[in-house]
Structure 1
Amino acid sequence: MSEPVTLDVAAAYDVWAASYDGYDNPMVFAASYALSQASLPLSQKTCLEFGCGTGRNLAALAARGVSNLIGFDLSSAMLAEARKRDASWTLFQADMSAPIPLPDQSADFILFSLTLEHVAELAPPLREARRLLRTGGTIKIIEIHPFVSLQGISAHFKTPDGAEITMPAFAHHFQDWLGAFDQAGLRVDRLREWQAADLGAGAPLKIQRRGPAWPWVVDWTLSPA
């Protein structure tokens, strides 16, 4: 068996982009399920996703009556897949660890989903999200559960020819999250830890075989402090 190949984040997702939505990824299932269960009054709102990937979450938000969808990603190939979904979305390439080229108060709702594991310092993107959030808005973060990431589990995949691709990832403790929220001027309105038993009868085998108490994702709902 060949050794895993480690690529930088953008290069890894460029390789993964074409097969990403069809990949048997239990973490993506868990995050998508958590988002589907969220009570979000988004009709006629503007929504922004940090690390929008192929646009699967943007499509889910569009189904809720969102009037304006904005997304950015580090991977140009992932953005190309997102553009295939809907040409009306505002999509651009950017690094969430750097200033985002959007004006203050650009969105009513901001989403991070399975992206912040690739960021060493949580505070900079969260400060940008706080800057871009409109008065009365909400930020939702759905990310790999700390109990999982601290075991060394992170985003990885196999190519069609069987090569295993890994990429840089950072395990964040709960205290890291709380400290970053404080630095960014955000407060926690709700927190849910999604275990396998919470993910519905249709959860794939990869989720079920970990056992009902396995914590897949952590789901934060935030607002300005």
Structure 2
Amino acid sequence: MENDYDGFAEAYAAETENSLINAYYTRPAILHLAGDVTGRRILDAGCGAGPLFEALRERGAIVTGFDASAKMVEQARKRLGEDAALQVADIGAPLPFPDGAFDDVVAALVLHYLEDWSAPLAEIRRVLQPGGRLIMAVNHPLLFKLVHPGADYFETAKWSDEYTFNGRKAVLTYWHRPLHAMTDAFTAAGFRTAVISEPHPAPGAHERFPDELAGKTAFLSFLFFVLEAV
């Protein structure tokens, strides 16, 4: 099974809790783009073990989360408590929420697993209030060319990479799409692209990860968007 997070949920949660790429890059960037979330109803799409859910809740948001992996939802419930609004659901299928239920949706490192973005983006647009925001991060499209220099950047293409999460080996499979294909999909789903961000790592990253960041002020990894529902 591709991207079988049930098989390595605990190892993934442990590995990413304090990692450079997650704790000092992705999550801080999403929180920065979200800004003041006090009182906002936020859907954490692909919530994983719940660290972003927790951070948004601590900032005063009313958070609901889902993930396709039942084991990841178990990890999130351990972290967030039994009363947390969590469920197992697939972003590639109709979402179990009413129209206009949320002010924001965050989708951190989720959509790049999918070949087709049209149905997921349409569902996210449906559950957002008009004027609501989708705040998301996906693999930077240039990453594909760095890993596969001979590949065609302009084609939508499937690719995989091997990882070790807390000592456990895993393979993740992604779908590359060029930047214009991303923004075209956003427009077709009823979104306006408000922000495209290539952030620097968070404060403290250079001190905690001196070897990985030696000589660097930033690095190429993910591309971040703020989209407004129109």
TM-score if structure 1 supplies the norm length?
0.84
Deviation at residue 206 of structure 1 after TM alignment: 6.5
Contact 1:143–1:219 (CA under 8 A) maintained in structure 2: yes
- Asked if residue 185 in structure 1 is aligned to residue 157 in structure 2, the reply is no
Q: CA deviation at 1:85?
A: 1.8
Aligned match of 2:28? 33
**Structure 2 residues without counterparts, runs of 5 or longer:** 148-158
SS at match of 2:143: helix
**Pick from 42, 56, 65: which aligns with 1:61?**
56
Deviations 1:146-172 (A, max 9, x none): 111343486643256x55310321112
How far off is 1:40 after superposition?
2.2
CA offset at residue 210 of structure 1?
Answer: 8.3
Aligned counterpart for 1:89 among listed residues 70, 84, 87: 84
From 71, 77, 83, give the equivalent of 1:77: 71
Quick one: which amino acid aligns to residue 187 of structure 1?
R
Contact 1:157–1:164 (CA under 8 A) maintained in structure 2: yes
The structural deviation recorded for 1:113 is: 0.2
Residue type matched to 1:18 in 2?
A: E
Q: Does 1:52 align with 2:47?
A: yes
Q: Give the secondary-structure state (helix, strand or coil) at the position aligned to 1:194.
A: coil
- C-alpha RMSD of matched pairs (Å): 2.3
Matched residues in 1 for 2:125 and 2:100: separation?
8
Output the TM-score relative to the length of structure 2.
0.83
**Matched residues, number:** 213
1:172 and 2:177 matched = yes
Check if 1:157 corresponds to 2:160: no
Structure 1: how far apart are the matches of 2:161 and 2:56?
23
Mapped contact 1:51–1:112 kept (Cα < 8 A): yes
Could you tell me the percent identity over the aligned residues?
25
Q: What is the distance in 1 between the residues matched to 2:104 and 2:90?
A: 19
SS at 1:222's partner residue? strand
Question: Is the CA contact 2:100–2:129 (under 8 Å) kept in the aligned structure 1?
Answer: yes
Match of 1:202 among 188, 201, 205: 205
